[in-house]
Chains A and B, each alone.
Chain A
Amino acid sequence: MFLLLFALLLCSSLSLAIHESDVGVIDWHKKLVGVPHATRVTHVQANGITQSVILVPTASNVLAALNTTDGSVVWRYVFDAADGIASFHVAGDAVVALSGQGASMLRSFEPLTGFITLETRLAAPLSSVPIGVDVTSEPNTSAMFVLNTHTIARIGEVQWTWEAEDKGMRFSKLVHTSTAVYAVGLSQQAAALYLVAIHPITGIQIEIGWKHLPPAVSSFMVVGDAAIWVDPATQSLGFVHLTPALKASIRTEKTLKWQELVDVYLQDFGVLVGVLANGEARVLQARDGGVVESVHTFPANDGEKSLFAGGLDKDGAPYIVRLWTTVSNTTAAEIYTPAHGVVKTIFPLDSYKYGTVTHLAVDGPRLVITTSTGAVQLWEQDQLLWGREEALASIDVAAFVELPLPERVARVVEGESFITRLTRQIVEAKDFPEYAAAFAQRFFTGAPLRDEVVVSAHDHTASLGRDAFGFRQVLVVATAYGSVFGLDSASGAVLWTRVLGLGWAGVGVGGTVKPVKIFVVDGEEESKDVVLITQRRANNKLVDTVLFRIDPLTGGSVYPAEEDTNRLLEGTDVISGPLTEAFLIPDSSAIMLIDEFFQINSYPDTEANTAFISRLASKVYLPFMETFPEGPRMVGHSLKLDPELSDKHVAFRTWGLSLSPDETVKSIVKPRVGPVASLGKVLGNRTTLYKYLNPRMFVVLTQGPDTPRAGCGIYVVDAAKGSVLYSALVPFPSTRVCDVHATFAENWLVYHYYDGEGVGAGEAKGWRMVTVELYEGGLDEKTQSSDMSSFGVDSMHVEALEQSYVFAHGITAITTTSTKFGITSKDIIVATQNNKIHAIPRRMLNPRRPKNRKPTVEEQQEEQLIPYDVFIPDDPRRTISHNYEVANTRNIITAPALLESTSLVFAYGLDLFLTRVAPSNTFDILNKNFNKAQLVLTVFGLGLGIVIAKPMVRRKRLRERWYQ
C-alpha cells in the first residue's frame, strides 16, 4: 500500500512541479523596492573594506538598501500594510525605522545585510496626530536615543525612559552631546520653543524650560549643539545654543534675508544650508559655543527651485550639492567640498522620460537622484551609471498585447499582378536554402524547435516578432506616477517608457495623471492598439478624462499621431470632467465612456460608432458602483435617448442590488470572459450537468453591518435585472474588515476568506477556499441559459454545487488561467501572503468530489474525481514562482498563448513576476525527450524493407503461378 502511494506521488511529481532547468527561462522576476521617499547613502566599514549602500524608505512601505555599483537590491524589508514606516534614521552604524501606529515599533537594521539587530515596541502617544520622532546615537557605544513626542528612551546596555510631565510640551528633535541629551520642540500655537536636557547615562532630567519665539517660525531644525530656525516675518535667522542649564539666550541674524533652511543630513558635522531670498544659498556651519557661520556661498542661479543634499564620501569628507533645472531644461548640479571647492556638472537627464528630480543624495562626487516618474539613478559627472524604474512597483493597470506576425510569414497581398508576385517570390526565394537547412536540422534533431518553445529570457537582441507559440507578447503597464512602460513578456526587459503628458495642464498649472482602465483594441491592418483611459487631476482642481492610444510595439501615440517618441505622450481629452465608468464593447473596438452626468460618449467618436451604440442601446445593461449617503451600492443601468435632455444616450437606473441597510459594496468581480469549450459537465455515467452560462453574471463582494447579519457577503448577480443567483455570507475576520477574494469564470466561482469563528469541535480557525459551480438544474436538465433572456421564465433556474476547503495561506490576489479556446482546464492562480504564487488544479476544486465514499470507477476514469478532503494540501510543487519572493502582489492577469495548452501569468504588486503555466500539461507540443531521430529512422527502415522485399515477392508469385 505504502509502495503504491509512493509510486503515485512519484508519478504526479513529474507532471506538477516546475523544472529547475526552466527557472529563469520560462519565467522572470523583477525585485523592486518602490519609489523612495528619501535616499541616504551610508558607508560602513566591514573587514577593513568600506562598503556603501543607498538606503531608501519607499512609498511601497519598504525599507531597502541598494548597491551603489549596479543598483541591485542588497536587502529589503517589506513592512506590513498596518505597520507603515513613520520615520527612518541612519544613526551611527545602524539603520533605524520607526513604524506602526504612533511610530511605536522600532527596528534597527544592519546596513549591509539587512539583519534586524533590534526590534522593540516603545511607549507611544495614542492617536496624538502630530508626532515628533527622532533618533540619535551615542558615538562609540551602540546606544541610541529615541524621541517620540513626549518620551525619550535610551536603548542600549543602559536603558531608561524619560517622559514629559507636561503633555502640552511636544518635542520633535533630539541632539546628543557628551554632557547632555537635548530634546527640542516647537509649538506654533504657543509660539514657544520647548527644551529639555537629560543626562545621557542616567536619564535624569537636568533642566526643562521653554523660550518665547516669534509666531509662525519655519524651517526649524537642530544642528551641532544649536537649534536653528527662520522667522519668515522678518526674514531673519534665529538660533539658540544648547547647554545643560538651558541658559543661553536666542540670537538672531538679520543682515541677510533668509528664506528657509534645508537639512542636508550632516547634523553631526553641524552643517546645514540656508537659502536666501535673492536665490543665493549659504552653507552654514555651527561651531562649538553656539556660533553659526557661513562657510560657502552658492551664487544665485537661473533655476526655479534648487534641491540640496549632503553626504559623506568613503573617507568621511562631507559633500554638499545643489541641484536645479536650468532655463534651457537641463539639470545642473554644483558639488561643494571644503577641500576641493565647487565642481559644476550639467547632466543630460531626459525630462520627457523621467520628469524632474524630486530628491537626491550624494555619495562622494556621485549623485543619487529620484525623479518624479519614480526612477532612481546614479550619476557620476554626466554619466548615468545605472537606473532603476521603481514606478513599476506601483502599476495601476496592465494588459497583454499579442505581437503581430513577423514579416517573413507569407501573406496574400491583394490586388497584386502576376509579374509583381513572381518578382516578389523570386526575391523571397533567396532565403529558401537557409530555410531548408533549418528545416532539415529541425526535422532531424528537433533542437531549434525546443529553443522556440522556451523563448529564452536572456535574448534581448531578437526583433519584436511573434514566436511560433505566442509566448512572446508585450505587456503594457501604466503606473501611478503617470508613466507607461512596454515590457517584453519573454524577458521582462523594458522595451519603451513614456511619460503621460498633462495636456493644457502641463503649461503652468501642473497636475497628475492617474490611469483608470486599459483596453486592447484593433488598430490598423493587423496590429493592436492599447487604449489607456486616465483621469487628469490638474492642480487647479479640474478633473478631465484623457485617453491615450498607444502603439504597443514602439510606445508611440497612434492618435494624435506623433513623429517624435522622445517627448511627452499626449492624449486626447475625451470628457471634460471625471469619468464614471468605461467599457469596451465586446467583439468590437468601440469604447463607451460614461461621464459624471451618465451620458454615453463613444470612442472613437465616429458616426459609425454612435450608430452602433444606438443599435445596441436597447439591449445593453451597465452595472456599476455608485456612492450613496449610506455607502457604495450596486446599481444597474439601461440606456435611453431623450432628445430633451441630451443629444447622447443617457444611462438611467433600472435596478439596485437589495442589501441590508448598513451593508456596503466593497468591490465587484468581473466574469473572466473567454471561449466556452463545453456547455456542460459530462459525468461518469454519460449524463450531463448543463452549465449555467448566463453571460451577464458578475460577483459583488460586500461588507456587512455588525448586526444583525454580520459578515461579508458574496453575491452572484444578473446584470440585466439585479437578481441574486447565488449568495453566501461568510464571517468577519478579527479586524471586522472584509477581505474576501473571488474569481469567476464561466459558471465557476472560487472565493477565499478567513474564518475566525471555528465554532464546533474539530473545526479550526483558518483560511477557507470555497468552490461553487452553477448549473441549469439536475442531471440532463437544460434551460439553454447562455442564449436565454434574463427575463425568461427559466432564468432563475440555477442549481449551485459547492464545497469548502481549508487553505493554508492568506491570499492577496486570485484569478484563473485563460487559454485560446478554453479547452484546457483552468487552474486557479493565487498570490499568497507568504510572497509566493501558487497554482491550484481544477481537479482539487471540483465541487463534485464525493464525501464519505469512494468515487466509482466511472467517476474516476471519466471525471478524475478524487475523494473529498477538507484540506487543500500546501504542496510546494504547485508553487509556480520557484524560490522568488514575489512580495505584496496586488493583482494577477493571465493571457492565452497561441498554444491551447499554455497560459501566461503576470503578477504585479511590489514585484513583477511572469511565468507560463500549462494546467493540462503541454499536450499540444512534443515532449522535449521525444526521440524524433528514432521515429525517422524507423520509417526509413520500413520503407527500405518494402523496396527490397517488393521485387522478391513479385518474383516468387510469378514462380508460384508457373509451378503450382
Chain B
Amino acid sequence: MSKSLEYSTLEPASKWRNLPPPPGFSKSTSSKSTVKSKAALPPSSYDQLKEKRALDFAIAPAKSLPMQAFMLYMSGGGVQIFSMGIVFMLLLSPFKNIAGINEAFAPFAPSTAKNPKALTTLPAQKLVYIACNVLTLAVGLWKCRSMGLLPLGTGDWLAFETRGIAPEISLF
C-alpha cells in the first residue's frame, strides 16, 4: 500500500551527490571500509555462505527430531496435559514454520535476488525445509495415532451416521 523508499536507488541519480563535503567531514573512513570489505568477501562467496546457512536452517527441524522423539517417549501413551502439550507443539510448529517460510529464509536470500521474500528464492532449501517439517508433523501424527486420537476407525465416525425412519411399522 505504502510505497517503500528506495534510498539506494535514488542516491546515484541525486544531484546533491557531487556537492563538496562540509568542512571537517572526512569521506575516507567510510569509503575505505567499504572497499576493504568488498575486497575481503566478494558477493558470490557471501551468497555461497548464505546458501549453506540456509540449508542448515532447512534441516534444523529434522535435527531436533531425535530429541522430540525422546520427549514423546518419556511423556507416555496416556492422554495427559504433558503429553498433549508436546503433541500439540509437534502438530502446530510445522504449520507455523511453513506459514512463515518466506520470512524465515529472507536473511539467507542471495544478493542477486530481486525480492528476498519471494517464494522462488532458495527453492531447494525451502523444499528441504518443508520436507523436514512434514517429518515432524508425521512424528506428531504417529504419536496421536498411538494415543488413539486419530479418527481412523469406523467407530470414530459412528456418531455422525444417521438413519432414516423405517419404511414399515409394527405395533405390539
Contact = CB atoms under 8 A, between A and B. Distances in A.
B155 A679 contact: no
Given A620-B169, A622-B170, A622-B171, A679 B163 contact: yes
Contact of A623 (B161, B168, B172): B172
- From B153, B155, B158, B170, name the one whose CB has the most chain A CB atoms within 10 angstroms: B170
A742 to B, nearest CB: 14
Given A679-B161, A787-B163, A787-B165, A620 B155 contact: no
A622 B168 CA distance: 11
Contacts of A680: 154-155, 158
B153 A619 contact: no
Nearest to A583: B171
Contacts of B10: none
A686 B168 contact: no
A588 to B, nearest CB: 11
Given A688-B153, A787-B164, A678 B170 contact: no
A696 interface: yes
B169 A621 contact: yes
A894 B40 CA distance: 92
A668 B156 contact: no
Given A686-B152, A786-B163, A679 B158 contact: yes
A585 B156 CA distance: 35
Nearest to B162: A679
- From B152, B164, B166, name the one whose CB has the most chain A CB atoms within 10 angstroms: B166
Given A683-B155, A687-B154, A719 B166 contact: no
Given A682-B155, A686-B152, A686-B156, A671 B172 contact: yes
Interface in A642-691: 668, 670-671, 678-680, 682-683, 685-688
B148 interface: yes
Interface in B81-108: none
A111 B102 CA distance: 100
Interface string A611-633: 00000100111110000000000
Interface string B3-37: 00000000000000000000000000000000000
Contacts of B169: 585-586, 616, 619-621, 695-696
A686 B152 CA distance: 8
Contacts of B170: 620-623, 695-696, 698, 719-720
16 contacts: A585-B171, A619-B168, A620-B169, A621-B170, A623-B170, A687-B154, A687-B155, A688-B155, A696-B166, A696-B169, A698-B170, A719-B170, A720-B168, A784-B163, A788-B166, A789-B168
A678 B148 CA distance: 20
A686 B163 contact: no
A53 interface: no
B157 to A, nearest CB: 9
Interface residues of A, number: 38
Given A583-B172, A670-B172, A698-B172, A789 B156 contact: no
Nearest to A697: B170
Contacts of B168: 619-621, 696, 720, 789-790
Contacts of B153: 682, 685-688
Contacts of B66: none
Contacts of B166: 694-696, 786-789
Contacts of A668: 172
A787 B167 contact: yes
Interface of A: 583-586, 592, 616, 619-623, 668, 670-671, 678-680, 682-683, 685-688, 693-696, 698, 719-720, 780, 784, 786-790, 858
Interface residues on B, range: 10 to 19
A564 B169 CA distance: 41
A621 B165 CA distance: 15
A788 B167 CA distance: 7
Nearest to B167: A789
- From B152, B154, B166, B172, name the one whose CB has the most chain A CB atoms within 10 angstroms: B172
A893 to B, nearest CB: 15
Given A583-B172, A622-B171, A696-B170, A686 B165 contact: no
A698 B105 CA distance: 70
B158 A688 contact: yes
A695 to B, nearest CB: 5
B14 to A, nearest CB: 37
Given A686-B148, A695-B170, A696-B166, A678 B154 contact: no
A332 B161 CA distance: 71
A119 B153 CA distance: 66
B41 interface: no
A330 B70 CA distance: 94
B159 interface: yes
A687 B171 CA distance: 34
B171 A688 contact: no
A683 B153 CA distance: 10
A696 B155 CA distance: 26
A803 B167 CA distance: 32
Nearest to A683: B155
Contacts of B164: 787
A680 B159 CA distance: 9
Would you list the 9 A-B pairs with minimal beta carbon distance, nearest first? A686-B153, A682-B155, A719-B170, A583-B171, A787-B164, A670-B172, A696-B170, A621-B170, A688-B154
A719 B155 contact: no
A614 to B, nearest CB: 14
Given A682-B155, A694-B166, 17 more contacts: A583-B172, A585-B169, A621-B169, A623-B170, A671-B172, A680-B154, A680-B155, A682-B158, A683-B155, A686-B156, A688-B154, A695-B170, A696-B166, A696-B168, A696-B169, A719-B172, A788-B167
Contacts of A780: 154
A352 B167 CA distance: 48
A690 to B, nearest CB: 8
A956 B160 CA distance: 53
A937 to B, nearest CB: 24
A784 B167 CA distance: 12
- From A586, A694, A787, name the one whose CB has the most chain B CB atoms within 10 angstroms: A787
A395 B161 CA distance: 43
A450 to B, nearest CB: 32
A784 B163 CA distance: 7
A672 to B, nearest CB: 10
Contact of A620 (B154, B158, B159, B171): B171
B167 to A, nearest CB: 5
A694 to B, nearest CB: 8
Contacts of B161: 679
Contacts of A622: 170-171
B83 to A, nearest CB: 16
Contacts of A787: 163-167
A720 B161 CA distance: 25
Contacts of B154: 680, 686-688, 780
A688 B161 CA distance: 12
A554 to B, nearest CB: 30
A696 B171 CA distance: 8
Nearest to B151: A686
A397 to B, nearest CB: 15
Contacts of A786: 163, 166
Contacts of A585: 169, 171
A185 B158 CA distance: 78
Contact of A678 (B156, B159, B167, B172): B159
A682 B166 CA distance: 23
A687 B158 CA distance: 10
A693 B159 CA distance: 15
B74 to A, nearest CB: 20
Nearest to A581: B171
Interface in B31-88: none
Contacts of B148: 686, 858
Contacts of A698: 170, 172
Given A592-B171, A620-B171, A696-B170, A678 B158 contact: yes
A780 B154 CA distance: 7
Contacts of B167: 619, 787-789
